[in-house]
Amino acid sequence: MAGKSSSVRKAVKKDRQVSADKKRTAVGGSSQKAKSPRSTSRPISEDLALENARLLEENARLFKAEQERVAELQIINSIQQGLAAELDFQSIVNLVGDKLSEVLSTDNLGISLV
């Protein structure tokens, strides 16, 4: 008889714990199950593969942006080198016009001084 009483107490205690967990979750509290960072339907390896794919895509985007910045800085550097070498105003205007034509891929470019 003492064994039945003990098992009844354990069942009641477990029921109270489940009830308390549900209340905390419903009110905005947290329980261990509510804190689970990943879905139990996906294995950890799938989560890691998805995270790696996301990081790979982000790295590719950042690399492309950095390559564009390098190209821009190379153009600015070449203009600066030309400006340092040429002190004649018309030569400087021609140099800047040539670089702008190259960057904008056009032969029809004019620089106007106002």
Give the DSSP letter string of the chain.
-HHHHHHHHHHHHHHHHHHHHHHHHHHT---TTTT-SS-TTS-HHHHHHHHHHHHHHHHHHHHHHHHHHHHHHHHHHHHHHHHHH---HHHHHHHHHHHHHHHHT-S-------
Query: Is the confidence at residue 2, as pLDDT, over 60?
Result: no
Please indicate, yes or no, if residue 90 is contained in any of the structural domains: no
Higher pLDDT, 77 or 111: 77
Please indicate, yes or no, if residue 48 is contained in any of the structural domains: yes
Average model confidence (pLDDT) for the chain? 74
Q: Which residue has the tokens 């509510």?
A: 34
Please indicate, yes or no, if residue 59 is contained in any of the structural domains: yes
Please indicate, yes or no, if residue 15 is contained in any of the structural domains: yes
Please indicate, yes or no, if residue 31 is contained in any of the structural domains: yes
Rounded CA separation 114/99 (Å): 21
Higher pLDDT, 41 or 11: 41
CA dihedral 43, 44, 49, 50 (to 10 degrees): 80
The number of distinct structural domains making up the chain is 1
Please indicate, yes or no, if residue 49 is contained in any of the structural domains: yes
Please indicate, yes or no, if residue 109 is contained in any of the structural domains: no
pLDDT band at 1 (very low <50, low <70, confident <90, very high): very low
pTM of the model: 0.42
Mean pLDDT of 8-30: 54
Mean pLDDT of 86-105: 82
Rounded CA separation 42/69 (Å): 40
- What does the block give as tokens for 51? 């995270």
28: left (phi over 0), alpha (psi -120 to 50) or beta: left
Domain interval for residue 49:
2-82
Please indicate, yes or no, if residue 101 is contained in any of the structural domains: no
Query: Is the confidence at residue 62, as pLDDT, over 90?
Result: yes
